[in-house]
A and B are shown apart, each in its own frame.
Chain A
């Protein structure tokens, strides 16, 4: 199953983003062990896994914030493994980092303008962000540091969208947010994705990830334990892959949220 062919996937040409045998170390610790994945244009590719599975490391390595020990990252047919994060961002690999990471002393609008500085041409502008998230316009002069967690997450998404990414990396959107807020943020994602955006997202909260994913990969301790379309995998398979328990069907379905 891990080497499933392109059955049912939107494109069978070259993948937009291709990660091959990626191994990453944090000091002595091997955070990722020969991970491979292919994201095709238009897909919403979800990487799920428990805390410490290596999901964020994978996303950060794709964004260029970590250098891999071995393996490669290819984007749009070109090897970008040695490129700095800012170069990758300008090519269209744009990440919403874990913990929002807004520029706290800048206003909401200034945060968006920073995102627009090196933007590629495309449909997203500050105006369109204000239209999509209507509360933002009235509070555009407010310091980003004063916003609530959910509002900050929305501004962080807006800041990334304005760059007109070709692939949007979303790192743990739900982290540190109240369940209601997480519901709201994931609720508005389909509307954003309707513009044909390619998304690679990492999420601990499996139920949220499965709501919007068109393809799924589960990591456990730096290795892939499951891959496929959400429709093709059973809840039991996901649980087993997530927790690393063979035959974990006895665990209740909601147990995967933490």
Chain B
């Protein structure tokens, strides 16, 4: 039963990892930008939540109503300025520029919030409570909530991309920028919208992580970016539902590793990552298979 429990915990943690990963995957899929500051921006979202909760006293769970739009605007602005001008100089430049952005953000956070870790207190019932199934299987409320949010976010993104007019433009621009321009679409604006979506979801990931664990200025690269990368690669580059599957595979591997020996948690995750890279480098869900 302990193993079943480990797998269930892994699946639920996968939802959190999917929140980390879907924005990274979206930005890569649309503008071929590997945003190395993605994790740090998620952490910024978490800190914005802490700030908003302290200043406005909104209920913790509703803080996302402010945090997500704020980070979406930050995403749009970053894309239209720093990232776009890096893109104009070639895709490789974006790697260097987003790495620089990551360093700036981390050190900025250190400066303003110190290296102390801080949590987002979501309330005792939510954080420690759980459904019990039998004697050994526990379904923590918080992880259930985060997974439900992740699935809702992916459904929402998929609906937006496949049904809305802007979603159609995003896919058109991802296919052929020049042809989209000839149809009257300003691809830089469309890129900005994709980046806004990406950072909106990243902010949700940051807030969720702050509730589930603790935020500190380096969590962005040490944890969020790293797990997001692994989830995206396991799931398949550019595939939204692949990020959920990749997140779950990573989560399950970590939980099973921890079950064997608590110090093997991370190692097990990276071993599965390596296995996927060797056996199925295109990822579990390929873009063509997903429509």
A 194-235 contacts with B by CB, 8 A = none
Q: Are B181 and A106 in contact (CB under 8 A)?
A: no
A114-B182 contact given A103-B172, A105-B171, A105-B175, CB 8 Å threshold: no
Q: Is A54 an interface residue (CB 8 A)?
A: no
Q: Are B182 and A95 in contact (CB under 8 A)?
A: yes
Q: Are A114 and B169 in contact (CB under 8 A)?
A: yes
Q: Is A129 an interface residue (CB 8 A)?
A: no
A214–B184 Cα gap in the complex (Å)? 28
Binds B, one of A41-49, A86-94, A239-247: A86-94
B 143-190 contacts with A by CB, 8 A = 165, 168-169, 171-172, 174-176, 178-187
A235 to chain B, nearest CB (A): 34
Q: Is A113 an interface residue (CB 8 A)?
A: yes
Q: Are A110 and B168 in contact (CB under 8 A)?
A: yes
- Residues of B near A97 (CB, < 8 A) are 178-179, 182
What 0/1 readout, one digit per residue, does chain A (115-146) give for beta carbons within 8 Å of chain B?
A: 10111000000000000000000000000000
- Residues of A near B181 (CB, < 8 A) are 64-65, 84-86, 89
Q: Are B184 and A106 in contact (CB under 8 A)?
A: no
- Residues of B near A118 (CB, < 8 A) are 183-185
Question: How many B residues have CB within 8 A of the partner chain?
Answer: 18
Q: Are B186 and A114 in contact (CB under 8 A)?
A: no
Q: Are A103 and B165 in contact (CB under 8 A)?
A: no
A53–B174 Cα gap in the complex (Å)? 31
- Residues of A near B180 (CB, < 8 A) are 103, 114
A65-B185 contact given A103-B172, A114-B169, A117-B169, CB 8 Å threshold: no
A202–B183 Cα gap in the complex (Å)? 19
- Residues of A near B165 (CB, < 8 A) are 113, 117
A187 to chain B, nearest CB (A): 25
A95–B176 Cα gap in the complex (Å)? 14
- Residues of B near A85 (CB, < 8 A) are 178, 181-182
Q: Is A173 an interface residue (CB 8 A)?
A: no
Q: Are B182 and A106 in contact (CB under 8 A)?
A: no
A103–B182 Cα gap in the complex (Å)? 12
A89-B182 contact given A101-B176, A106-B175, CB 8 Å threshold: yes
- Residues of A near B175 (CB, < 8 A) are 103-106
A101-B171 contact given A117-B183, A118-B184, CB 8 Å threshold: no
Q: Is A17 an interface residue (CB 8 A)?
A: no
- Residues of A near B178 (CB, < 8 A) are 65, 85, 97, 101
A146–B171 Cα gap in the complex (Å)? 17
Q: Is A102 an interface residue (CB 8 A)?
A: yes
Q: Is A63 an interface residue (CB 8 A)?
A: yes
Q: Are A113 and B182 in contact (CB under 8 A)?
A: no
Q: Are A89 and B183 in contact (CB under 8 A)?
A: yes
- Residues of A near B176 (CB, < 8 A) are 101-104
What 0/1 readout, one digit per residue, does chain B (174-208) give for beta carbons within 8 Å of chain A?
A: 11101111111111000000000000000000000
Query: Could you write out 28 A-B pairs with CB less than 8 Å apart?
Result: A63-B182, A64-B181, A65-B178, A85-B178, A85-B182, A86-B183, A94-B182, A95-B182, A97-B179, A101-B176, A101-B178, A101-B179, A103-B180, A106-B168, A106-B171, A106-B175, A110-B168, A110-B172, A111-B172, A114-B180, A117-B165, A117-B168, A117-B184, A118-B184, A119-B184, A159-B183, A160-B182, A163-B183
Q: A64-B181, A86-B187, A117-B168 are in contact. List 20 more A-B contacts (CB 8 A).
A: A63-B182, A65-B182, A85-B178, A85-B181, A89-B181, A94-B182, A94-B183, A97-B178, A101-B176, A103-B171, A103-B179, A105-B171, A105-B175, A106-B171, A110-B168, A114-B168, A114-B180, A114-B185, A118-B185, A163-B183
> Shortest 8 CB-CB distances between A and B: which pairs?
A118-B184, A101-B179, A89-B184, A103-B175, A85-B181, A103-B172, A90-B184, A114-B172
Residues of A within 8 A of B (CB): 63-65, 84-86, 89-90, 94-95, 97, 101-106, 110-111, 113-115, 117-119, 159-160, 163
